[in-house]
Amino acid sequence: MRNRSIVLLGIMCAFVPAALVAQTDVSGDWNMTFQTEQGDTEVSLTLEQDGEKLTGSITSDQGTVEFEGTISDDKVKWVLEIEAEGQFLEIAIDGTVDGDAMTGYADFGGLGGGNWTATRQ
């Protein structure tokens, strides 16, 4: 009986660390700010997460843009496609999650870029 208890305890200890290293959950509504040379731009960010897959939208006074992306550990990535003066522009977003905050960099299709921050609502 004692040997069974020791084996059971060993098995439980092997699985507990895996459960403690759970995937970061970014689902929900966020206040996001892009910092560029032209000044700060505030937008609303909504994210839904399914494992490592992200879907979401960014809403500003210009409208709403939907996107798909990924999350791996505490790193997020997605690409927005927007129309600017009759041309399409891809904005690549990379960032790091730290609890209820995120920070990162946005590359505006090679035409510049800027840092961004987000806080969970």
**pLDDT at residue 117 in the model:** 98
Residue 2 lies in a domain: no
Residue 5 lies in a domain: no
**pLDDT at residue 16 in the model:** 45
Residue 17 lies in a domain: no
Residue 43 lies in a domain: yes
Please tell me what DSSP assigns to residue 100.
T
The domain containing residue 33 runs over which residues? 23-120
Per-residue pLDDT tens digits for 55-100:
999 999 989 999 999 999 999 999 999 887 888 899 999 999 999 9
Q: How far is CA 2 from CA 6, 12, 51, in A?
A: 6, 15, 39
- Number of structural domains found in the chain: 1
Per-residue pLDDT tens digits for 7-49:
444 554 554 444 444 568 999 999 999 999 889 999 999 999 9
Strands (E), 15-74: 28-36, 39-50, 53-60, 63-72
CATH of the domain at 84: 2.40.128.120
95, 103 Cβ separation under 8 angstroms: yes
Q: Cα angle vertex 19, ends 17, 23, to 5°?
A: 115
3-state DSSP call for residue 6? Answer: helix
**pLDDT at residue 17 in the model:** 46
